Amino acid sequence: MINTKYLLIGSGHAALSAIDGIRMQDENGPILMTGAEGRSPYSPTILPYVIAGRKDPSKTQLKDEAFFKTRKVIFMEKDPVKVLNSVMSRAYLESGKEVSYEKVLVATGAVPQVPSIPGLDDCPYEVLRTMEDALKIREKAKKAQSAIIVGAGLIGMHLAEALSSLGLKVTVVEALPHVLGTYFDEVSSQMIRQSFEERGVKILTGCLISKAASGDGVCALSLQNGIDLSANMLIIATGVRPRTDILDEYVKKDKGILVDNFMKTNVPNIWAAGDVVQCKDFFEDRMVLNGILPNAVQQGIIAGRSMANDNNVKPFRGSIAMNTFSFFGNKALSIGQVNGSDNNSDLKEDIILSSSSVRYQKILYKEDIIRGVISINTQLDPGVFLRLIIDQISVHEQKNLLGASSLKAGRLIMSARWR
Amino acid sequence: MGKAYYTIAIQPEKCNGCNDCMVACAQKKEGTTNPSDARLSIELGEEALAKGFALCRQCAMPQCVMVCPSGALRKDEETGIVSVDETECVGCRLCTLACAYAGIALHPKKQKAVKCDLCGGDPTCVKSCKTGALSLVTAGDLYRRWGDLEDLFVPGMSFCLGCNSELIVRHTLRRVGSNTVVATPPGCVAGVGAVGVNGFTATKVPVFHPLLTNTASMLAGIKRYYNRIGREVTMLALAGDGGTADVGFQSLSGAAERGEQIIYICLDNEGYMNTGAQRSSTTPFGAWTSTTPVGEALKGKTRDAKPLPVIMVMHNCEYVATACSAFMEDYYQKLEKAIEASKKGMAYIHVFSPCPTGWRFLPSKLIEVGRKAVASNMVPLWEYSREGESLRFTQPVDNPIPVEDYLFLIGKYRHLSREQIEHIQDMVNERIRILKALVKE
């Protein structure tokens, strides 16, 4: 039996941030962190870069040994928790070891969500969530001439660029009408799509798959609209779902683990953070899933501080969708609400659109408060705009400048608020 | 963990928009003179004071590092500098999303994150800034050095919430060290348990509780005994303003006149705060106390505060200084000098010690009260040493703020009339004039 004060299940951004959160308050309380893959901590976000050959897979480690040493953390790289007994405060590890903890953080992340498609189970399809997945895709791609990617979300589109840069003929199939629909509006989504299509990536939107089959090193998909596709590789990138399977029935779950604004579950000594949780939304009164890296970091810090009884910890602000997306040298950014001005008269848009180049910017306002930003190749500080949205700063007088000269206006507003 | 580091501080009101800092940075980092190549940026707005800064703060808990999926960013645990390993950066820009200070950006050509690295600890932008708008804050050194010293007071003493005196006595004894005998006469420091409860003291060094009247003379006697038996031991008084300026003054004056080798620290909270906030001779004019109440006839204290530190300068001391916890680096420098001076004669430090409980302001405003007391010249910070032969302002105030900007932070001055404020302003101006006359040009 291993005894620890803090048990951190998982070794991603949320768990790593929780270490710093705990150590702000509790310098010496024993921390045990368990990983699943026998690797140094890495980020799933880096995987498309590994596949594209832009990142050496042996150099993806987020933290070195010194990090754990100075913070007095025991990291068991390859001994994942199999079952968590919330009544006994015990964790049972795959190796058969038992851990007795005072407080636990569940940061197990998410696993790929694979849709039910007739025949898919018999196809050698790939998903992308772990380093092993990435290395496998990279190996396969060396021999393949073509690939079908199901899902035009961030992972799907990142993969499409990576594989097409390796010389594969790539087809992306998406059920929704636009690519990257959660982050970009119709205009910007179209702009991104066009860039992909100009480089030979075939994109089919609004398409449902009726069946999958395989044979002779080829995977074939039949779409409901009658189109048939085939390629050497089939990759399913239709999103992820929280990995909650280690928890017993006493921990409340919906789609993910339900947490309050201090990342506490309904069980007093269990916290959860990162992709595994379902938490408050920033804009609306509802509980949402949030597979977003900066949110995971925030939640990890808050969970850690809360676990260490930090009285000054501020509640999580709520989940805000945000991401950066680079494609073929173009830089896209999305923060907060980016759609909804047409069916919600409260929201107003300030748009800059270039007809000759890949350039677009939209700032979405509710009265004088920014609710969301889309930028493709325009100059602004993403972090400054995120802060303007989070702090709900009224920007009435600077609205014109914010649209026309976003970089400068953002800095002026923020600097005035620092003092 | 818990270390303090260097950072670049910005005072926008001093910036004239000359761009020298950006040019110097661009030259050093990119070999160009184009300000847009610099790793800091200052944008001028339309109004005179409106400026937009983009500059890394070398955060204690850097968000850019925490969100980097590539392991390309790190904060050096020794120097505190947050830096990018360009070979490991994939250009994903999540760091730019995490930073609210516009302190990190993508290099337009390399497509890698670039940011300020403090030039390794000696930033070229700060050196190029002629107006003093940019400065390198090195206070981190101080807290790191003292963080390694042992706190010679125990935890759990019953100081009030936000007590300035607790801050000062813990720092002071930490620096003065364990080879010390402490005297705490009746007052807040003794009252919170420093001299002990049921036979246990709250200090890890010998401490005793003299009468209000004889702190300095008792310490003098102990020092002389140690000198006689050939042991070098530091004598430290931690006394309040009542035990120093009022009741304890005759023994202090005598000890100073005889040049006794002691460090005498007066924690001036401008009244008898542990017994119910009665007035003392250092309570300023107009201040409410329980013995100078505010009613129909009386409107607070009717006399000016006794300028005790100036009186001590005239007392043949080796070293005299004023201090304030809002200027800790300044205090530590003075403490160092006091320790040295006490080997020859008396060292006296008069510490301004705002009292949230007795003065009626929020504990969270403590440092602001200290800053504004200094900025308004209510509490000028200076030192006098026999060796230096002159009085020297250690935090000179070029353009003092009006005294009411300080006074109205504090509840005990809330009732002040325009005439009373004018009286205080006149008194402040007069005392600054006297101090300046003691400065040798």
Interval A30-36 mean pLDDT: 96
Q: What is the mean pLDDT of chain A?
A: 94
Kindly determine whether residue A59 and residue B2, on different chains, have CB atoms separated by under 8 Å. Answer: no
Nearest in space to B353 (alpha carbons), one of B238, B250, B432: B238
* B98 chain-A contacts, CB cut-off 8 A: 294, 297, 383
Q: Are residues B222 and B311 in the same domain?
A: yes
- The least confident of A125-129, A283-287, B112-116, B139-143 is B139-143
- % residues pLDDT > 70 (chain B): 99
Domain that holds residue B129: 7-142
Cα-only R_g, chain B: 25
Q: Which token pair is B88?
A: 């490991």
Class of A2-111+241-307 per CATH? Answer: alpha beta
Pairing relation of β-strands A277-280 and A257-258?
parallel
pLDDT value for A290:
84
pLDDT value for B69:
97
Shortest distance between the Cα of B90 and any Cα of chain A, in A, equals 7
Q: How confident is the model at residue A419 (pLDDT cuts 50, 70, 90)?
A: low
CATH number of the domain enclosing B39: 3.30.70.20
Looking at B122, B142, B162, the residue that finishes a domain is: B142
pLDDT value for A107:
97
Checking if the pLDDT of B105 tops 60, the result is yes
Nearest in space to A235 (alpha carbons), one of A36, A51, A55, A110: A51
Q: Tell me, yes or no, if A125 comes closer than 8 A to chain B by beta carbon.
A: no
Q: Are residues B240 and B261 in the same domain?
A: yes
Q: Are residues B121 and B204 in the same domain?
A: no
Return the H-helix or E-strand segment holding B20: helix B20-30
**B2 assigned to some structural domain:** no
B316 or A369: which leads in pLDDT: A369
**B83 assigned to some structural domain:** yes
Q: Are residues B156 and B86 in the same domain?
A: no
Q: Are residues B200 and B265 in the same domain?
A: yes
pLDDT value for B147:
78
Nearest in space to A174 (alpha carbons), one of A163, A166, A182: A182
> What CA–CA distance (Å, rounded) separates B24 from B127?
9
**B355 assigned to some structural domain:** yes
Kindly determine whether residue A27 and residue B2, on different chains, have CB atoms separated by under 8 Å. Answer: yes
ipTM computed for the complex: 0.95
- Compute how many other C-beta atoms are within 10 angstroms of the C-beta atom of residue B177: 14
**B197 assigned to some structural domain:** yes
Interval A349-374 mean pLDDT: 90
Which of A63, A322, A381 is facing B102, going by the closest CB pair?
Answer: A381
Which tens digit of pLDDT belongs to each residue from A84-108?
A: 999 999 999 999 999 999 999 999 9
pLDDT value for B441:
67
Counted residue by residue, chain A has a size of: 419
- % residues pLDDT > 90 (chain B): 84
In Å, what is the CA distance from A307 to each residue of A21, A294, A313, A408, B147? 9, 20, 10, 40, 25
Q: How confident is the model at residue A137 (pLDDT cuts 50, 70, 90)?
A: very high
Q: How confident is the model at residue B421 (pLDDT cuts 50, 70, 90)?
A: very high
Beta bridge partners of B289: B292
Shortest distance between the Cα of B11 and any Cα of chain A, in A, equals 10
Checking if the pLDDT of B373 tops 50, the result is yes
CATH number of the domain enclosing B361: 3.40.50.970
Interval A381-396 mean pLDDT: 94
Q: Are residues B420 and B304 in the same domain?
A: yes
Q: Count structural domains, chain B.
A: 2
**B1 assigned to some structural domain:** no
Q: Tell me, yes or no, if A317 comes closer than 8 A to chain B by beta carbon.
A: no
Kindly determine whether residue B101 and residue A414, on different chains, have CB atoms separated by under 8 Å. Answer: yes
**Fold identical between A2-111+241-307 and A114-236?**
yes
Interval B402-428 mean pLDDT: 96
Kindly determine whether residue A55 and residue B96, on different chains, have CB atoms separated by under 8 Å. Answer: no
Homologous superfamily (CATH) of A329-418 is FAD/NAD-linked reductase, C-terminal dimerisation domain (3.30.390.30)
Class of A114-236 per CATH? Answer: alpha beta
* A70 chain-B contacts, CB cut-off 8 A: 1, 77
Interval A10-39 mean pLDDT: 95
Looking at B112, B142, B172, the residue that finishes a domain is: B142
Q: Are residues B310 and B214 in the same domain?
A: yes
Checking if the pLDDT of A343 tops 70, the result is no
- Conformation bin of residue A216: beta by default, left when phi > 0, alpha when psi is -120 to 50: left
B137 contacts B7 by C-beta, under 8 angstroms = yes
Which tens digit of pLDDT belongs to each residue from A297-322?
A: 999 999 999 999 998 899 999 999 99
Which tens digit of pLDDT belongs to each residue from B166-196?
A: 999 999 999 999 999 999 999 999 999 888 8
Shortest distance between the Cα of B355 and any Cα of chain A, in A, equals 23
Looking at B126, B142, B158, the residue that finishes a domain is: B142
Helix or strand or coil: residue B404? helix
Interval B79-106 mean pLDDT: 95
Rounded to 5 degrees, what angle do the CA atoms B3, B9, B11 make?
A: 155
> What CA–CA distance (Å, rounded) separates B215 from B264?
9
Domain locations in chain A as residue ranges = 2-111+241-307, 114-236, 329-418
Q: How confident is the model at residue A227 (pLDDT cuts 50, 70, 90)?
A: very high
Helix or strand or coil: residue B4? coil
Counted residue by residue, chain B has a size of: 441
Which tens digit of pLDDT belongs to each residue from B227-283?
A: 999 999 999 999 999 999 999 999 999 999 999 999 999 999 999 999 999 999 999
Interval B333-347 mean pLDDT: 95
B403 or B148: which leads in pLDDT: B403
Which tens digit of pLDDT belongs to each residue from B301-337?
A: 999 999 999 999 999 899 999 999 999 989 999 999 9
pTM over 0.95: no
> What CA–CA distance (Å, rounded) separates B259 from B348?
11
Checking if the pLDDT of B1 tops 50, the result is no
Contacts for B88 with CB less than 8 Å, ≥ 6 apart? A55, A59, B70, B71, B72
Q: Are residues B309 and B420 in the same domain?
A: yes
| Residue A271 burial by Cβ neighbours in a 10 Å radius (0-12, 13-18, 19+) | buried
**B120 assigned to some structural domain:** yes
Checking if the pLDDT of A258 tops 80, the result is yes
Kindly determine whether residue B100 and residue A324, on different chains, have CB atoms separated by under 8 Å. Answer: no
Q: Are residues B199 and B334 in the same domain?
A: yes
Return the H-helix or E-strand segment holding B160: none
Interval A293-298 mean pLDDT: 96
Q: Are residues B288 and B326 in the same domain?
A: yes
Q: Are residues B122 and B208 in the same domain?
A: no
